[in-house]
Structure 1
């Protein structure tokens, strides 16, 4: 039998492999995924490093234990570490915790009661993205002699790092550097924008925030935390229902937030029409451009504000957590930029040094991924075990997508496949890296609904809701990499043999 280009990766191995700052972790079987969702002791022993907003990094655990000793904290409390003292204020105000001044550290530390309060605070930080950098924790522990080695990685010079990232984004989005803010995660970028909108709401009386499309779960969670009135329109291909709603509520809608294309079904709204509606009713349009990237789609004529998770395609290596807010100076919102920027935190210097090296290949990476995606879409449609392929070229929104394309090869590097029969067998048989995140140079698979919405899979009402929003349970999201496309195809094809 022919040797495979892709080889199995053990459960719990970091993705990328042997990288303590990896943001993904290998879950090679569906059982691994289910065990992770159910938090079985066996899986927790294997997975120590995973997506940092969901799993506390081992260096953060070690640092929290050191600080508990340093500050003589009783065992009835846990310490939660965050990116800044500003983050501590946000959490304190949310949960009425008043012990802010006890810690003299260059980052945020908060003391919370074990059990319910601790879990609530961790979940909230997951939503708002104020995570302490694993590189900062590594440096702190290394200087104390509590870790013996630093991750062997290339870094840009400190004095060049931030400018390199901002210059790249400035050119990519055709926007002034002063209209761009870097954040410690993509979710912190979204939180900062939504919190800014909440403050604007308090001044102008508009109370409704619209989620257009089935958005990423933590975006929805932030909306639920901060907006008493929100409305969700699940189908981005149906603007007529939204239009009717806006007619009835024309003076009450503050903003619309949407993903272009959507995650994981890769659908694209008619942004031209959406922009017209926003102009007509004086509504702020926020676009999550992570899937689109500024190199595939020209979104500049449409959004007031862009948010991008730089952790994804901009990084390409899944080893830096970072986000960006980009305000569009073409529209009315940029003159109050501080309203959005003031809620975010600046990323840790070493994270910017790492990102600066990776982001210079952003355009080249995206173009190669797009090329591979174009070939892969047609190939996947002909596989007997694939029931449906979801891509940016789907019939119901291909015209919306084409209107935005920078050139004819600008395809979003995400494809999802529905596998009706033998889902577990097929998922387990594929030797691609498998785990959370996307936008990597290596092809990365994720059983999306199992990892993102396991709570819905496990109840009758949840399954009915998934049917309503047309999100299949047996869905694999493919983040297409830059490998030889023939090797990618060969790995999918082997199951046909």
Structure 2
């Protein structure tokens, strides 16, 4: 395979909006976590919620230069509503701050350039003192609500060209010249909401949940996106994405043909009454989780949540920091469910139980039928993250009220665009309340250009997932049979396999993610340094991507992670589409590079 990507280079190479970065050695990963100059100085990008893309950084700096003060920084988000949530986060996380030191600047289309047929360049910026950067960065990382790099590039150009102005300037122009003058193409500018009248950035209110047709002009798509798509409006791309997530669109065809196809009844999610109307798109997977939690708080009121199983770091942070708190069950075991049942019988009540299926990085599968039974008896929501399993392999929707997923991962595969989704189960006893609350709280903030890229990337997701399943099984077999591997974590060989099998589809596999632990850090480092794959954060890529996951995700809390069986020397593998035998050879070569054990081992 001969993968050779230099430290700090984007993954995939030559990809302006890549969502991974090369950290090719064990020491480079440690150096990144410790902020060592020899690593940080070479970073051209990073995972977008942890490393703010340089185009976004440049846009934020320009906003501060134009609207701020020398001692301020800024982050950029899609809407003023999100900006106000960020200000609220400042108040809860740093109550000592003077609230006047956290300001919002809304940037809206200049009235003379406003055109409801085109994607709105509206954004908002939160300005704050440089010393308060950690609070703003935490909001960006935990919520996934920051502006995407493509949105930032487009809006920065619009600001330079005078098509994007601050809200007050736009209002003054309308007052001087009269608002009727700017009603174009059947659309009008609603300055109170900073965008053309819509339920989000691109979607007219009369077409709920992303079903708009014809909002982006064909010329706009072709000129801005570099894609030759006939009638390929961003709204149609979103509709196709939602149908793919629903399982009703699985053919690998062009967009215009895809929207004419009959539903794929074989792969449509097996829940009566379910359709793409129950699928909601978000800019990132974490945005889907954050907004699901936020929306459920609106629906049921302020109650603690439950995190069941060892969590992805920011999922737990959302439950802890954006509500009344969280009950944490890090093992996700039957004993944990016994304890939860005792608490419920004693009168404790909760908002929701959040779990991953299977978990990351230990690939454990929670007992969803038992969780569902407890939820029905004691009235809490069940939210399942299916990112790692994906719905072609597992069917978790019957046990959940809401299913969330990161579309950045295997659904996209190309590692060049972010996205997320939330799905409401129409058979949930709370379905009516959930739909009603989502109708009020949901805003489609998924940037048009990102949607176009995700739609194209996802056309062949069925064949890709089938191949990834096969390759991952082969690698699991290689690792399991080698004496220098301490333990392999994979749904097929997990002690919770029975729980996985209960949800596995008839033709489903075990997914493309697995992990392994070693007998020493030296063994792990020798293996990792000699493994000829791409190495960096993220998963679900079309190419195999390896990472010392615990070092990257939990470096400041290694002992805490170890207390839940997540060892610091764990290496995680997201298996890709390479030739199976070639990939097997790559892993065998890395295993051979582990030093021979000493006599007394």
Structure-2-length-normalised TM-score: 0.76
Q: Residue 91 of structure 1 is aligned with which of 83, 86, 95?
A: 86
CA 1:315–1:153 in 2, change beyond 3 Å: closer, same or farther? farther
For residue 107 of structure 1, what is the aligned residue in structure 2? 123
For residue 574 of structure 2, what is the aligned residue in structure 1? 479
Structure 1 window deviating more from structure 2 (36-45 vs 240-249): it is 240-249
Could you say which structure has the larger radius of gyration? 2
C-alpha displacement of 1:30 = 1.2
What's the RMSD between the two structures over aligned residues? Answer: 2.2
For residue 365 of structure 2, what is the aligned residue in structure 1? 268
Q: Residue 59 of structure 1 is aligned with which of 36, 55, 74?
A: 55
CA 1:102–1:489 in 2, change beyond 3 Å: closer, same or farther? closer
Structure 1 window deviating more from structure 2 (25-34 vs 157-166): it is 157-166
Distance in 1 (alpha carbons) for counterparts of 2:347 and 2:66: 55
Of structures 1 and 2, the one with the larger relative CO (CA 8 A, separation 6+) is: 1
Q: Does residue 449 in structure 1 map to residue 546 in structure 2?
A: no
1:386-408 deviations in Å (ceiling 9; x for gaps): 11100002342111111111125
Structure 1 window deviating more from structure 2 (157-166 vs 179-188): it is 157-166
Distance in 1 (alpha carbons) for counterparts of 2:566 and 2:474: 24
For residue 164 of structure 1, what is the aligned residue in structure 2? 240
1:477 match: secondary structure: strand
Distance in 1 (alpha carbons) for counterparts of 2:330 and 2:567: 14
For residue 277 of structure 1, what is the aligned residue in structure 2? 374
Distance in 1 (alpha carbons) for counterparts of 2:69 and 2:410: 43
Distance in 1 (alpha carbons) for counterparts of 2:226 and 2:2: 24
Q: Does residue 310 in structure 1 map to residue 407 in structure 2?
A: yes
1:393 match: secondary structure: helix
Q: Residue 344 of structure 2 is aligned with which of 241, 246, 270?
A: 246
Structure 1 window deviating more from structure 2 (163-172 vs 265-274): it is 163-172
Which 5+ residue runs of structure 1 have no aligned equivalent? 458-462
Distance in 2 (alpha carbons) for counterparts of 1:38 and 1:52: 19
Structure-1-length-normalised TM-score: 0.91
Structure 1 window deviating more from structure 2 (286-295 vs 98-107): it is 98-107
Which 5+ residue runs of structure 2 have no aligned equivalent? 92-98, 109-121, 162-222, 249-267, 593-601
For residue 216 of structure 1, what is the aligned residue in structure 2? 312
CA contact (8 A) 2:488 2:515 kept: yes
C-alpha displacement of 1:318 = 1.1
CA 1:229–1:329 in 2, change beyond 3 Å: closer, same or farther? same
1:286 match: secondary structure: strand
Structure 1 window deviating more from structure 2 (276-285 vs 307-316): it is 276-285
For residue 324 of structure 2, what is the aligned residue in structure 1? 228
Q: Does residue 18 in structure 1 map to residue 17 in structure 2?
A: no
1:369 match: secondary structure: helix
Distance in 2 (alpha carbons) for counterparts of 1:66 and 1:225: 30
Q: Does residue 136 in structure 1 map to residue 133 in structure 2?
A: no
For residue 460 of structure 1, what is the aligned residue in structure 2? none
CA contact (8 A) 1:237 1:397 kept: no
CA contact (8 A) 2:5 2:22 kept: yes
CA contact (8 A) 1:130 1:345 kept: no
CA 1:496–1:300 in 2, change beyond 3 Å: closer, same or farther? closer
CA contact (8 A) 1:26 1:433 kept: yes
Q: Does residue 390 in structure 1 map to residue 466 in structure 2?
A: no
State the aligned residue count. 478
Distance in 2 (alpha carbons) for counterparts of 1:213 and 1:269: 7
Distance in 2 (alpha carbons) for counterparts of 1:32 and 1:151: 36
For residue 134 of structure 2, what is the aligned residue in structure 1? 119
Distance in 2 (alpha carbons) for counterparts of 1:234 and 1:340: 30
For residue 190 of structure 1, what is the aligned residue in structure 2? 289
Structure 1 window deviating more from structure 2 (182-191 vs 73-82): it is 73-82
Distance in 1 (alpha carbons) for counterparts of 2:152 and 2:3: 32
Q: Residue 429 of structure 2 is aligned with which of 332, 335, 340?
A: 332
2:535 match: secondary structure: coil
Q: Residue 458 of structure 2 is aligned with which of 343, 356, 359?
A: 359
2:397 match: secondary structure: coil
CA contact (8 A) 2:392 2:508 kept: no
Distance in 2 (alpha carbons) for counterparts of 1:285 and 1:329: 13
C-alpha displacement of 1:151 = 9.8
Distance in 2 (alpha carbons) for counterparts of 1:58 and 1:319: 15
Q: Does residue 419 in structure 1 map to residue 518 in structure 2?
A: yes
1:456-495 deviations in Å (ceiling 9; x for gaps): 23xxxxx2x3332011110011111111111111011113
2:384 match: secondary structure: strand
1:81 match: secondary structure: strand
C-alpha displacement of 1:152 = 8.4
